[in-house]
Amino acid sequence: MRFMAKARKPASRSSAHTKGAAHRSAKSRKKKNLPPPPPAQRGGVELVDPRVQAQLKVYDEALALFHQQKFAKAKQELEEVLKGPSKELADRARMHLKIAEQRMKPSAEQNPRTAEEHYQRGVGMMNIGRWDDARESLLKARKAAPKADHIHYALAALDCLTGEADSAMANLKVAIHLRPENRYHARNDEDFAFLQEDPRFTELLYPEKDGTAG
Query: Has residue 195 got a pLDDT over 50?
Result: yes
Q: pLDDT by residue (tens digit) across 158-190?
A: 999 999 999 999 999 999 999 999 998 898 888
pTM above 0.95, yes or no: no
DSSP 117-167: HHHHHHHHHHHTT-HHHHHHHHHHHHHH-TT-HHHHHHHHHHHHHTT-HHH
Predicted pLDDT of residue 44: 53
What pLDDT, on the 0 to 100 scale, is given for residue 4?
43
Instruction: Report the alpha-carbon distance of residue 59 to residue 77 in Å, rounded.
Output: 7
pLDDT tops 80 at residue 54: yes
82-109: pLDDT as tens digits: 999 998 889 889 988 888 887 776 654 4
- Percent of the chain exceeding pLDDT 90 equals 36
72 vs 147, more confident: 147
Strand stretches in 6-149, DSSP E? 41-42, 45-46
Residues 24-35: tens digit of each pLDDT: 555 554 455 555
Q: Are 115 and 131 in contact (CB under 8 A)?
A: no
| The predicted structure's pLDDT at residue 20 | 54
Per-residue pLDDT, averaged over 65-72, amounts to 82
